[in-house]
Structure 1
Amino acid sequence: MLDVCTQLAERLLRLNWMLVTAESCTGGMIASRCTDLAGSSAWFDRGFVTYSNAAKMQMLGVHEALIDVHGAVSEPVARAMALGAAYQAQASVSVAVTGIAGPSGGSPDKPVGTVWLAWCIEGRVSAQCQRFAGDRRAIREATTLHALHGLLERLPH
């Protein structure tokens, strides 16, 4: 079976679409995984690493009120990140992730391993919350893979 990035590349090339990423907890791992593939410049446009709330607001246009009301790790913020990334890059496809990779930073409502993911395909956004187990590395790796697989599932064939 083909690697998820190879499958993404084939699909995006067929559609003539470019991908952009907006990453918080993964710190660029999704973009890195995509650009590990030779020739990725034909289908991967750019990645935003918006680790801080200020970066989410400045680079992606996430409204401060969304972060204040819902927190950075939330569905509204993940959706706004995906939309903002697509808008800033004028791309057809984006994926965004925001979460708590640990080992600290969790709360009873949002324990370590809580990650919100959002995918924007031609302006339509879907989002999903996941709770990944393991240490910081495992959570970030699981988030990266889930984001890529989720994108592949949502792209038209």
Structure 2
Amino acid sequence: MLKIQEIREIIKLIDQSKIDEFLYEHEGSKITLKKQGEQKVVSAPVAPQPQAVQAAPVAAAPAAVEVKAETPAPVNEAPKVEAENLHKITSPMVGTFYASPSPDAAAYVQAGDKVGENSVVCIVEAMKLFNEIEAEVKGEIVEVLADNGQLVEYGQPLFLVKTV
């Protein structure tokens, strides 16, 4: 079962994204998160755990917790570029965009850099896992569309690449 801090992190990521529903199942445990307008409903079956600190008795039915959610800030949309040979490198998941492998290291790529199919262009961190994102095309980076540390959505364009 996930720790409460991990569940809170997931709730934050979903709250800041355009995702309306999230389902997580692992070893018989199930967590469902749904956004409903201005509210988010979080439900999960409650199972007794030796380390759990719980004052109320464990209920047989799933517990539901309602959390007020603020309207998410609008995500910076990529500028419209009308060029046939530009390829968009998109985020394969919801997470945090990092342009470099560590805070004091140089960015993987910048506008004007040449990339190959297997060139790492950034990292997207999701649930404490750092996923290297590859260019998947050969070409030149025209524009970086995400800011370092920015929350990115699934399918959000991160880079524009002029293919060769």
Same fold, TM-score > 0.5, yes or no: no
State TM-score, norm by structure 1. Answer: 0.26
State TM-score, norm by structure 2. Answer: 0.25
Q: Which is helix-richer, 1 or 2? A: 1
Quick one: higher RCO (CA 8 Å, sep 6+), 1 or 2? Answer: 1
Q: Which is strand-richer, 1 or 2? A: 2
